[in-house]
Amino acid sequence: MTSTARPAIATTGPRWRALPRVAQITVQVILMVAVGVEVVTVAVSRAPVIQYVPAVAMTAGILLGRFGRSWGYVGLGLVALAPMIAVLVDRQATGIWSMACLAAFWFVLRGLSAWVVGVVIGVANFVAVGWEAGTIDVRYDTSSSVSAFAAAVCAAIASALRGNYRYRVEAEARMREAEQGRQAAVERGVAQERLRIARDLHDGVGHQIAVVNMHLGAAEVHLSDPRALRGDLVAARAAVQAVLRETQQILAVLRVDNAGERPQATPSHAAVGDLVESYRQAGMVVNANIGSFGIALSGQSSVAVYRVVQEALTNAHKHGVGPVSLEISQNGEGLVSIEVANMRRSTSSPGPGGGNGLIGMRERVESVGGSLRTRADDRLFWIVATIPADGREAR
């Protein structure tokens, strides 16, 4: 057999979560005991059966209050009638109106409006006790005012308790959301850092491997010329060492220690000339026109310029043929324009990861607020990038 259980407030979490639920159960038990005492008192005194009605009305009101807000207000009405019924049936109202005050506390904890409960129970107590005493004038008898005030105080205390509970729940939810937001920010930061490292690996290591490939290809051609062959192999070894240095720089960023060691400097636009020369030494024909940079570039923009040129030349080596045209200029607003054009191979078959280079270039350029466009026809392939001088990588 299955049953629908009420969600427990305090199965987990801080103890304060249990307070409203514990208070409800405690007051309900006290009310049932008080009703039982009233019934026993009527039975022992051999009073008429009609004097059981106030206790029955009180019990019915509490039971109806357990079935939600709508039935709760019906139950509230029955509880409010109980003191007046007690007076009608010649039963002393003191015990009944005291139970009505506890019921007011219980109804408010159950979610009913504190104003409605306080007013209804307070007015009912005031009328019933004043009726029983024969006056509502506080100069002669204060019991009617005391009973009404007691109902209002019980409703107010329950409202304060319920409000404090709701405040704590909302504060805890806000703290949880803030923690989740911080965790999401950390995860985004980690993802962005992984993407940056992947771009650096692709751009830096990929470039050096392309240079090694060109030197080894030249070495195959120069097998009959020992001097030229030696030069090609020395250049290839230098490129391999550059791969190791690039990898060590990236690993230095990932290493966490207490020595405070900082990673080596990253490439900048000032090294573009050396980058072009490394491709020329490897056998690529690069017609470069590199203008001056009248407006200083930020660190992120400087790295982006270098990496775009590096990947564009590597892409031209992999998928192009013949000379490569490189134009770099900066306008009066500091915007750097990079244009690379090369002839396409008649049967171009990109190597592994060939598509990642352009994706990585576009991501890098857009991360500093720039843009990258590519176009191609039957003979030529162009890469055009624009990078602002004051670009800041988004985090």
CB-based burial label for 66 (10 Å; 0-12, 13-18, 19+): middle
In this structure, the chain runs to a length of: 395
Whether 186 maps to a domain, the answer reads: no
Whether 330 maps to a domain, the answer reads: yes
Whether 275 maps to a domain, the answer reads: yes
Locus of tokens 């308790």:
161
Instruction: Say how many domains are in the chain.
Output: 2
Distance of CA 338 to the CA centre of its chain: 38
Domain around 71: 15-179
In this prediction, residue 258 carries a pLDDT of 47
What number of other Cβ atoms are within 10 A of residue 218's Cβ?
A: 19
Residue type (1 letter), 274: D
Q: Which of 131, 161, 179 is the last residue of a domain?
A: 179
Q: Which of 113, 148, 179 is the last residue of a domain?
A: 179
Whether 247 maps to a domain, the answer reads: no
Locus of tokens 């190597």:
351
What number of other Cβ atoms are within 10 A of residue 194's Cβ?
A: 10
In this prediction, residue 116 carries a pLDDT of 93
In this prediction, residue 350 carries a pLDDT of 46
In this prediction, residue 2 carries a pLDDT of 43
**Residues 138 and 278 reside in one and the same domain:** no
* C-alpha span between 308 and 134 (Å, rounded): 97
* C-alpha span between 143 and 137 (Å, rounded): 10
Q: Which of 130, 156, 179 is the last residue of a domain?
A: 179
For 194, residues 6+ apart whose C-beta sits below 8 A from its C-beta are: none
Q: Is 306 helix (H, G, I), strand (E, B) or coil?
A: helix
In this prediction, residue 266 carries a pLDDT of 66
**Residues 22 and 146 reside in one and the same domain:** yes
| Cα distances (Å, whole numbers) of residue 134 to 53, 80, 234 | 22, 19, 117
Q: Is 160 helix (H, G, I), strand (E, B) or coil?
A: helix
Tell me the residue ranges of DSSP E strands in 132-285: none
Q: Dihedral sign, CA of 304, 306, 308, 311?
A: negative
Whether 72 maps to a domain, the answer reads: yes
In this prediction, residue 325 carries a pLDDT of 92
Whether 84 maps to a domain, the answer reads: yes
* C-alpha span between 147 and 100 (Å, rounded): 9
Whether 138 maps to a domain, the answer reads: yes
CATH number at residue 286: 3.30.565.10
Averages of pLDDT over each 10 residues, the chain, 395 residues: 42 63 85 88 86 89 86 90 89 87 90 91 91 83 89 91 86 85 80 70 66 71 74 72 67 55 64 85 85 86 88 84 90 90 71 59 86 88 91 56
**Residues 174 and 37 reside in one and the same domain:** yes
Whether 143 maps to a domain, the answer reads: yes
